[in-house]
Structure 1
């Protein structure tokens, strides 16, 4: 989203325009969620971080404390990062990594071809997640934030990660190259032939 458009939406939302508020949430909810998940928070903790971040944004907006409305994405990502760190410090516990897939299967009306395709796609997705979890912490955080939907601007992503914008491009490229190598490595079955 363009900075001017963001600033206009923030001003309209501060004045009580619900459609402007909805547009801001649509534009930045993925970024807030990605920042929380980049800190390896579980779904419930990530939801708490997102809710707290949006609540603080609404309060600050209502009090007129958003001095640079065009930078709302950076404000939200920085607040989400701080909230994520606060949750981690407060919980003082290990958080499981990776996303849990569905367990078990239910009968469906899918054709055998659809079932086979779904299994293949699931296997590919599992391989990508496995490779992502083999990357270093820094690469995982960068890629998770940049994979938000909708994708954040580099300025918003940099604010979310606490790095400079110039750091993101080369780091993203390096991390994607590592991920690509890990995904393309042959899978060891552990069976002797």
Structure 2
């Protein structure tokens, strides 16, 4: 390995690399610092496998151009996320599983409600986002009675879920 040559190459190649990377970065739409870093890495890999280039300046220009071409090709194939995956916590598999489980429990509880509450609550929870007029027409009831009926159904659902979710005390007895 001829790593001892690298300290001598760096000071001579740094200004040339900075200039070449700045020029190529404009055309490739990448950051000049990213290009510089990639070329330094390629130089290390080259020195390890083949030894230092015979004409370092010529090799450097070719390496910068090759990295810029690779960056352009890659950017054409890549699609940007609408949001960072780490920021989109709701999109993670764990969150999707928890959300699906919560939705199943809610819909199961809605089906156990008395009277016409299951139909009313199913219409309110519908992904179609129905208006009160559409819900009233679908259920055959007046639009004015939807609010009070919804309130009674939600109260019943709240009491039902509170009884099911009650946390046990440390001795295993429910509160």
Normalising by structure 1, we get a TM-score of 0.34
Larger radius of gyration: 2
Which structure has more RCO (C-alpha within 8 Å, separation ≥ 6)?
1
Normalising by structure 2, we get a TM-score of 0.37
